[in-house]
Structure 1
Amino acid sequence: MPKDEQSDTSSTIKSSSSSDRKPATLRRKQLVDAISNDSFNDWYQEQQFTENILEGKPYFNGASPPPDSEKHSPSKLLQCHRKVRYYAENSPKEGDPPQGLFWVGSQFEEEIVVPYLLEAIATDETYVRNSMWIDTEIETNDGTVRLKGVTDPVIVDADGDPILVTEIKTTSSLDYLDGPKPHHKAQLHAYMYALDEEYDRSLQDGLLLYGGRDTLDISVFHIPFDERFWNKSVITWMQAQTQYRANNELPPREPAFDWECNTCPFRNRCGQTSAPFQDTGFTGLLTGFTDYREPNLREYFDAYPGAKLTPTLAHEYPVLAEQYGVYNWKCRGCGSTYAWDDVDVESDSPLCDRCAENNDLQTIVVLGPNEQNVDTP
């Protein structure tokens, strides 16, 4: 081959090789960018959505209607009344959902505790049920309250009747656990009381089993049914929560435990942070606030069909803006409205053009959460 032809071929090969590497680098960058916390949460949410349909529980995929004032979930007992009300009214949740904690707790119960109870604890005369439904009414001096929910594993007899109720919880480390937590104790009491009523059995004992997420060691507490604790703490709490619901009242900002505000998905709405919000009602999105995940927003819109996005969130979630609409900006002075995308959301104090023409400097705002009109279900 002539020298000049050989040179041309070499040049062609080198150019082709360089061209091939460029798309590979681009593909690699796209893969790196695609793997993120947001995409993982979206994928996991879709997995849960599909699984609920597969298991015949599509009702878990949307917002639950607010419960009757007298109905209570054992898992919410003794906790912050305001937080429980926010949950019940499907207020928009802030931040990322604690899916990891739920998943770890579920796996610990299903993959470790239930096999342990089946293989090491159950006898020839006793068996293990994964869970048992409860639905019982309790007459009190202030009226009727109702408990409805599902237990953790229960040791039963050959007829399937309960003998010993358990409540399974996971915690970051057993090193920080100095005894049964009151709200878990209340939850176990609710199961003992309800199953005793429904099966006419003398259920006076339960077990609280904590698993450490760091070591998978367990700590077990025997919980005898305590009549005084049940009446003075649990029944009293249910009566108070019933009254808040019956009166459609926002309970006082009084967390029952120190940890509640740190993990609460309504802490900005409530006023427990430096954000400029306080004692916000059950509906409406916080203006200028972006710490809402898309699944939580969809759940809120499912509960309140007339709700819309704020302009700030519309820029974050354009697809949701197309589906659900966006609140307009409004001038407090003349009442003029502006489309959400006609105003710079980064501006601290956008001015009304119409008022400015009359030398009247009026700022335009987005309706606050308590002013946003929503259709109640």
Structure 2
Amino acid sequence: MSDEPIPDSPPGVVVSSVIERGPEDLVRKHLVDAISNQSFNEWYQEQQFTQNILEGRPYFNGASPPPEPERHSPSKLLQCHRKVSYYKENAPKEGSSPQGLFWAGTRFEEDIVVPYLLESATTDDTYVQNSMWIDTTIETEEDSVQVRGVTDPVIVDAEGEPLLVTEIKTTSSLEYLSGPKPHHKAQLHAYLYALNEKHDHSIQDGLLLYGARDTLDIKAYHVPFDETFWNEGVVAWMRSQTAYRENGELPPAKPVFDWECSTCPFQGRCGEGDAPYQDVGYTGLLPGLAEYRKQQLTEYFDAYPSAKLTPTLARKYPSLIDEQGVYEWRCTACASTYAWDELEEKDDPSELPLCAGCAENGELTTLTVPTPENQLTDYR
């Protein structure tokens, strides 16, 4: 056995030639394959899952039940009605998750902004409170809507009474930011309105603070409460969203902002993605679509326990098979059925297999699994 340099290695690095001829290639491949975006996301989600249990918040690990139609979250205000409805009804999310952005935003707020506010904005008689719970109902002539959520840091007096409400956002760059974004302004208005209703003194001032993730530069905007913007913009939006959900209606695909479709986790079912679907309702996985992350699937199954995996997803996440089951392939022409793993896997997951029985009779019939609309009903 002789020692010689690893190909393309730094000078002086040597290994046994026996290892070089095989096993070390497997070790390298294992290391490279093990470190990936998918494995990182699964690891991070498991860390969050465990942490929630340790902190006595296991309810954070499952899907939340759909809220009442009149209830709204400040963070979803003034955005695409269809996207918001998908979120509320626990439709299965697709594609990559923006967890990294949420994590960066939390760290920026807790590790940088709160200490900064403590040092620069408070006095001997004022303090920074990390958050405040809001829950208020807005009555209109026709109906009422409710908004519930948790604020970002609030500057308070010695009695804990709010003086200045903040909303902290991170962004890739401040270069093109010329003022508060409307949906962030709406979110801050919800906090201002709710706290003003709850406390005896007037609460009319908010601060939107944007931080650049690359440079940590900030831009801060004073946002006074605007009654016209609140009533004609935000409350009107909440009433429309409530009406869609009360009527069981899938809202139209009309994004409010240009960026919404490109970052939306429901592109495929909506019709904005590459998958051959559009206007799909709240339940059902898209057959042939592999772009679901494991955590997204477990959240969906938590909300809809009777749902199963598609054959495409069964091959991608075999650990979920025993618990959830897999839809069978079915031929609509001859009614033959095939187990999900009975047929050869296609290179293109969107390519449907052919029915062997029909092929023997000279017919080329593609097999199907339940459409998203039919996946939660009996499929025999």
What is the TM-score with the length of structure 2 in the denominator? 0.91
* Structure-2 change in CA distance of 1:332 and 1:109 (3 Å): same
Match of 1:202?
202
* Structure-2 change in CA distance of 1:47 and 1:187 (3 Å): same
Question: Cα distance, 1:352 vs. partner?
Answer: 3.0
Match of 1:121?
121
Could you say what secondary structure the match of 2:134 adopts?
strand
Question: Cα distance, 1:178 vs. partner?
Answer: 1.1
Q: Is the 8 A contact 2:2 2:17 kept in 1?
A: no
Instruction: Write the deviation string for residues 313-362 of structure 1: whole angstroms up to 9, x where unpaired.
Output: 11111111222111111111232222111223428453334445555553
Could you say what secondary structure the match of 1:75 adopts?
helix
Structure 1 position 371 matched with structure 2 position 342: no
Alpha-carbon distance in structure 1 between the residues aligned to 2:289 and 2:171 = 31
Alpha-carbon distance in structure 2 between the residues aligned to 1:17 and 1:233 = 71
* Structure-2 change in CA distance of 1:333 and 1:207 (3 Å): same
**1:297-308 correspondence runs (5 A):** 297-308=297-308
Alpha-carbon distance in structure 2 between the residues aligned to 1:171 and 1:46 = 27
Work out the number of aligned pairs and report it. 364
What code does the residue aligned with 1:322 have?
Answer: D
What code does the residue aligned with 1:263 have?
Answer: T
Q: Is the 8 A contact 1:195 1:201 kept in 2?
A: no
**1:52-71 correspondence runs (5 A):** 52-71=52-71
Instruction: Write the deviation string for residues 264-312 of structure 1: whole angstroms up to 9, x where unpaired.
Output: 0001110012321100110101111111111111111111000011111
What code does the residue aligned with 2:107 have?
Answer: Q
Could you say what secondary structure the match of 1:169 adopts?
strand
* Structure-2 change in CA distance of 1:184 and 1:374 (3 Å): farther
Match of 2:189?
189
What code does the residue aligned with 1:352 have?
Answer: C
- Gap regions ≥5 residues in structure 1: 1-10
Q: Is the 8 A contact 1:261 1:267 kept in 2?
A: yes
Q: Is the 8 A contact 2:155 2:164 kept in 1?
A: yes
Match of 1:350?
353
Match of 2:284?
284
Match of 2:262?
262
Alpha-carbon distance in structure 1 between the residues aligned to 2:342 and 2:25 = 39
Q: Is the 8 A contact 1:138 1:145 kept in 2?
A: yes
What code does the residue aligned with 2:106 have?
Answer: S
Q: Is the 8 A contact 1:304 1:374 kept in 2?
A: no
Structure with the larger helix share:
1
Could you say what secondary structure the match of 1:219 adopts?
strand
Instruction: Write the deviation string for residues 174-226 of structure 1: whole angstroms up to 9, x where unpaired.
Output: 11101100000000000000011112320111111111112111111111100
Q: Is the 8 A contact 1:153 1:166 kept in 2?
A: yes
Q: Is the 8 A contact 1:349 1:364 kept in 2?
A: yes
Q: Which runs of 4+ in 1 moved over 6 A?
A: 11-14
Alpha-carbon distance in structure 2 between the residues aligned to 1:259 and 1:20 = 51
Larger radius of gyration: 1
Alpha-carbon distance in structure 2 between the residues aligned to 1:27 and 1:273 = 38
Question: Cα distance, 1:37 vs. partner?
Answer: 1.3
Alpha-carbon distance in structure 1 between the residues aligned to 2:328 and 2:25 = 43
Deviating more after overlay: 315-324 vs 156-165: 315-324
**1:144-163 correspondence runs (5 A):** 144-163=144-163
Q: Is the 8 A contact 1:307 1:374 kept in 2?
A: no
Alpha-carbon distance in structure 2 between the residues aligned to 1:93 and 1:17 = 48
Could you say what secondary structure the match of 1:152 adopts?
coil
Q: CA RMSD in A?
A: 2.1
What code does the residue aligned with 2:325 have?
Answer: G
Alpha-carbon distance in structure 2 between the residues aligned to 1:359 and 1:33 = 43
* Structure-2 change in CA distance of 1:231 and 1:12 (3 Å): closer
